[in-house]
Structure 1
Amino acid sequence: MNLTFNLQHKLILSFMVILMATSAHGIETPQYTVIYEDETVEYRQYEPYIVAETFVDKSVKYKKASNEGFMRLFRYITGNNNVQADIDMTAPVQLVAASEEIAMTAPVQRVETDDSWRISFMLPSKFSMETAPTPGDERISLRLVKGQLMAVVRYSGRWTERNYDKHKERLSESLNAAAVETIGTFESAAYDAPYVLPFLRRNEVMIEVKSAPATQLTAATGS
Structure 2
Amino acid sequence: MLKTVGQALFSSLQSPKYTTLPPNSQDYEVRTYHAAKWVSTTLCGMELDAALKTGFRRLFSYIQGNNQPKASVEMTAPVTCLVEPGAGPACETKFTVSFFLPEKHQASPPEPNDPEVFMENRDEFTVYTRKYGGFSNQQMKGEQLLKLLESLQKDGVPYTDKPYYTAGYDSPFKLTNRRNEVWILKKTEQE
Could you state the TM-score of these two structures normalised by the residue count of structure 2?
A: 0.86
Is it true that 1:42 corresponds to 2:29 in the alignment? Answer: yes
Partner of 2:60: 74
2:175 paired with 1:189: no
Q: Secondary structure at the match of 1:81?
A: coil
1:156 aligns with 2:133: yes
* 1:91-128 deviation digits (Å, cap 9, x = unpaired): xxxxxxx3101011001111222332211110112223
Give the RMSD, CA atoms, in angstroms: 2.1
Question: Of the candidates 34, 42, 50, which is equivalent to residue 64 of structure 1?
Answer: 50
User: For the Cα contact (< 8 Å) 2:74–2:102, is it kept in 1?
Assistant: yes
State the one-letter code of the partner of 2:37.
Answer: I
**Corresponding position of 1:123:** 101
Cα pair 1:58 1:116 within 8 Å, conserved: yes
How many residues align? The count is 182
Cα distance in 1 between the residues matched to 2:95 and 2:124: 22
Residues 9 and 173, structure 2, Cα contact 8 Å, conserved in 1? no
Q: Does 1:180 align with 2:157?
A: yes
Q: Structure 2 unaligned segments of length 5 or more: list them.
A: 87-92
Asked if the contact 2:59/2:98 (under 8 Å) is kept, the reply is yes
Contact 1:157 1:163 (8 Å CA) reproduced:
no
Question: 1:196-223 CA deviation, whole Å, 9 max, x = no partner?
Answer: 11x5100000011037xxxxxx7x99xx
> How many Å separate the matches in 2 of 1:168 and 1:193?
22
User: Which has the bigger relative contact order, CA under 8 A and spacing at least 6?
Assistant: 2
For normalisation by structure 1, the TM-score amounts to: 0.75
Letter in 2 for 1:189: A
Preserved contact between residue 67 and residue 110 of structure 2 (Cα < 8 Å): yes
Deviations 1:140-171 (A, max 9, x none): 11111111111000000112001101100111
1:53 aligns with 2:40: yes
Q: 1:107 aligns with which of 74, 78, 91?
A: 78
The runs of 4+ residues in structure 1 deviating greater than 3 Å are: 21-25
Take 1:77 and 1:182, find their aligned partners in 2: how far apart are those partners? 33
1:32 aligns with 2:18: yes
Does structure 1 conserve the Cα–Cα contact (< 8 Å) formed by 2:133 and 2:178? yes
- Equivalent in the alignment of 2:89: none
Cα pair distance change 1:68/1:22, threshold 3 Å: closer
Call closer, same or farther: CA 1:69–1:22 in 2, change over 3 Å: closer
Overall identity of the aligned pairs, in %: 27
- Relative to 1, partners in 2 of residues 1:112 and 1:21: Cα closer, same or farther, differing over 3 Å? closer
Distance 2:65 2:113 in 1: 9
